[in-house]
Chain A
Amino acid sequence: MQLEELVERFKQKDLRAFEQLYAMYARNICGAINTIVRDEVLAEEICQDVFVKVWEKSDAYNSSKGRFFTWVLNIARNAAIDELRSKSHKNQKLNLSADYFVGILERADDEPNGNVNTDRIIGFIKNLKQKCIELIDLIYFKGYSQKEVSESLDIPLGTVKTRNRNCISQLREHMKQN
């Protein structure tokens, strides 16, 4: 079934369509949350909350919100950041730019889980330039705006968009080659 059809049925509160969408995106969303909270158990809890919320807000989704995945990712990001702000993480200033998801991937690399796909991805990322890793992390997982990225990484605002394009293209290249 096409994604568009699934999303349409999900909006009509079709639980089976929702289950398929969950199967398609749950691991990605949980992973994205994990890059922020860096705690697998907590990430799973938040991830569950996010999907319950997504179901409850299904009426609110339409194409003006972007891709379905993008919409869910946005909700997940906000939930994860809220969680960090509300918990004892207060002491650790919300310095999201200091750590990158590479750290999580490297730890996963130390404890191989037999997921061939994951192992491959880690390989791709290691081949990316450090600047690209930082940029992708901030734009996709931390939800930074172009202006914030520009300030955070000290690069001209006008170049953020094309640099991001180049980084994603490199990643796609690596994925194709393997």
Chain B
Amino acid sequence: MDTKAYIASGILELYVAGQLSEKENLEVAEYAETYPEIKKEISEIEAAVLALSEAAAPNKPLSFEAVKNRVELSEDTKLIPLNRGRNRWLPYVGWAASAALLAGLGYFYNQNNQLRSDIKLAETEIQALEEQIAGASDSLEKTTALLQTLRDKNVTVIPLGGQVAAPEAYAKAYWNETEKQLFIDAQGLPEPPDGMDYQVWSLTLNPLTPTSVGLLENFQTDENGVFALSNPNQSQAFGITLEPAGGSESPNLEQLYVLGTVSS
């Protein structure tokens, strides 16, 4: 290759100016590696341009520090973006946590009050239930006692059938002759009108003699409709009549509701 002609063409000046294509650049670089005179020529051209450009430089020395700092900063940013991000968000996370804690405390305070109120309510309910249980067991006790009484072997059961005044009515008499006790189960009797009471009579049949055993008092409020009376008579039959409140000396037979004889 004619290196002198190549140099004289002016292509190396354009190479230093950056006027060549990438392909031409690679070509020149290759020649520079192969031919030392081309490499030397390039260096001298560059030196001339460097001298020119340096003459136009600002009149103060340039420090690499500023560039270095910026370069390192950008490297840091690239290398540890996670860390920086985390630091930047840390205070916000802190505030968010505080807010969450406050909200949580408020929530738990409300919850606590609600729970206290619930406990009071539950306690009231428990008391009411305990009262009910006590009442029930009391009632059960009474009922059991009553049942026990009625089941006594000395008790005679006398069904009392409905009469003309109240054909649908019925009642049962449990009479313990030994204990002189008489229980009237009045479940099948209608409620007495105001100002009237049912009166229980012990009867002997020949001749028919009624003896008052007592009134079925507080008929509406009695809880199980079984009334305990005392009957010392040698009864042959029992009857129940509707009488003015407080009872009568002798029964009003027109108002005889139920009647039954003691089977011997």
Give the interface of A toward B (CB within 8 A): 15, 18-19, 22-23, 25-32, 34-35, 40-41, 43-44, 47-48, 51-52, 55-56, 63-67, 69-71, 73-74, 101, 104-105, 108, 111, 113, 115, 117-118, 121-122, 124-125, 136, 139-141, 143, 145-146, 161-162, 164-165, 168, 171-172, 175
Contacts and interface: CB of A to CB of B under 8 A. Distances in A.
A46 to B, nearest CB: 11
Contacts of B5: none
B151 to A, nearest CB: 109
Contacts of B46: 67, 69-70
Given A47-B62, A168-B48, A27 B54 contact: yes
A43 B58 contact: yes
A28 B10 contact: no
20 contacts: A15-B71, A26-B62, A26-B64, A27-B53, A28-B49, A28-B57, A34-B56, A44-B58, A51-B67, A69-B46, A69-B50, A101-B56, A117-B55, A121-B55, A139-B14, A162-B9, A168-B13, A168-B48, A171-B48, A175-B51
Which secondary structure dominates where chain B touches chain A? helix
Interface residues of B, number: 44
B18 interface: yes
B128 interface: no
Contact of A22 (B42, B54, B59, B67): B67
B136 interface: no
B74 A52 contact: yes
A74 B18 contact: yes
A21 B200 CA distance: 133
Contact of A140 (B17, B23, B68, B70): B17
A28 B125 CA distance: 96
Contacts of A29: 53
B68 A67 contact: no
Given A23-B64, A69-B46, A125 B52 contact: yes
Contacts of A70: 15-18, 46
Nearest to B44: A172
Contact of A27 (B13, B49, B62): B62
Contacts of B62: 26-27, 30, 44, 47
A44 B71 CA distance: 16
Given A27-B54, A63-B29, A145-B19, 8 more contacts: A26-B62, A27-B53, A30-B57, A31-B52, A65-B25, A66-B25, A118-B57, A172-B48
A118 to B, nearest CB: 5
A34 B53 CA distance: 9
Contact of A28 (B8, B15, B53): B53
B64 A40 contact: no
A67 B42 contact: yes
B20 interface: yes
A22 B64 contact: yes
Given A22-B67, A65-B22, A31 B48 contact: no
Nearest to B25: A66
B66 A48 contact: yes
B18 A71 contact: yes
A38 to B, nearest CB: 9
Contacts of A122: 55
Nearest to B75: A13
A67 B16 contact: yes
A117 B54 contact: yes
Residue picked from B10, B52, B59, B71, most chain A C-beta under 10 Å: B52
Nearest to A68: B46
A65 B48 CA distance: 20
B26 interface: yes
